[in-house]
Amino acid sequence: MPAHPAYPVGLRLTGRRVVVLGGGQVAQRRLPALIAAGADIVLVSPSATPSVEAMADGGEITWHRRAYESGDLAEAWYALIATSDHAANEAASAEAEAHRVWCVRSDDATAATAWTPATGHSDGVTVAILGDAPDPRRTAAIRDSVVEGLRDGTLVAPHQRTRTPGVALVGGGPGDPDLITVRGRRLLAEADVVIADRLGPRDLLAELPPHVEVIDAAKIPYGRFMAQEAINNALIEHAKAGKSVVRLKGGDPFVFGRGMEEAQALAEAGIACTVVPGISSSISVPGAAGIPVTHRGVAHEFTVVSGHVAPDDERSLVDWAALARLRGTLVILMGVDKIGRIAETLVAGGRAPETPVALVQEGTTAAQRRVDATLATVAETVTAQDVRPPAVIVVGEVAAVGGPLTPVE
């Protein structure tokens, strides 16, 4: 244990000379951060890993292909010594001391004048962990815990409210609260107001602090016909009041989620909008049920379509006849009550009546269940099995590939 702990400081290296001795794995790990800091990097090494060589070829660093020589640290602000030659490391360290250059030693931290902290990044913040004595595993573990907490919202550090008010359109994923993105979860943890869809990950709402106002989008006044307009108005009203607003949606905001309508309304009102993509149920729910939407030798494409209006409805924008001629996978969302007419249309257009169909209800949640049928039998199967929305319907040979996956405990 040293007599005194290291003094933590952040170096601003933009345009300043940094010398790296050795082009091996240590340099490969450390160089990206030095490049990101804008340092003028000189690498001195007879050889380098392919990744380090690529940095030199790309003009990100200057590489002198030789061993260390006295004088290499002249005019340097910072040095990283990481060669396999202990004598060269000792000589370079002595030169750094003589020229008052802060120096990191990969072979002997106790002989160095500086230590590299375990660092991580989250939302514009750099987390750097230093121990009172070199202990890379412990500092890395602490770093990982802090960064993970900041990213997933379990460690909440709200921004100052002087920032420009705005709205985040967050895709919550298919239903399992663990399947929201880390950015979405962090924004949710920082929100003042959350306007949530019925199909969003409802379990996450219970984790919000008591002061957070939660608005059920399905119960906003004005009735069903005016619901979207009411949602838009609520987003604008709360954002203009200076609050941090999250619009929590199921799946992805731009996959049958009316996210663009809300983004356009916010733009017209002059309110900043951030879109956080989510895992779409069109892919994740079949996957959770053991169904690949593509599979080598079976399906080379998949098409996602809304089934909320029937094929013979004049409001339909879907070319069902064209879909019937495709050989790949067809994923139908919001189509449980129309699946009978959809199946008839597909068969009439050329799809074989025995084409496999899988219906996955409440996908990725504890209530998930899978019901299998064919295009010829799916209508009666839905009625007999009492399949209800939300359910993702998969049409195609992939529904017959493999079987249910065994969950990992």
Burial of 202 (0-12, 13-18, 19+ CB in 10 A): middle
Q: What are phi and psi of 318, to 5 degrees?
A: -95, 135
How many CB atoms lie under 10 A from the CB of residue 282? Answer: 22
3-class SS of residue 409: coil
Of 217, 216, 221, 170, which Cα lies nearest the Cα of 191?
170
Beta strands in 112-165 (DSSP E): 118-122, 125-129
First to last CA, the chain: 42
3-class SS of residue 175: coil
Query: What is the full DSSP assignment across 225-252?
Result: TTHHHHHHHHHHHHHHTT-EEEEEESB-
Q: Is the peptide bond before 165 cis (omega within 30 degrees of 0)?
A: no
How many CB atoms lie under 10 A from the CB of residue 314? Answer: 5
Q: Do residues 278 and 251 make contact, with C-beta atoms less than 8 angstroms apart?
A: yes
**Active-site positions?**
197, 219
Count of H-run helices and E-run strands, the chain: 11, 17
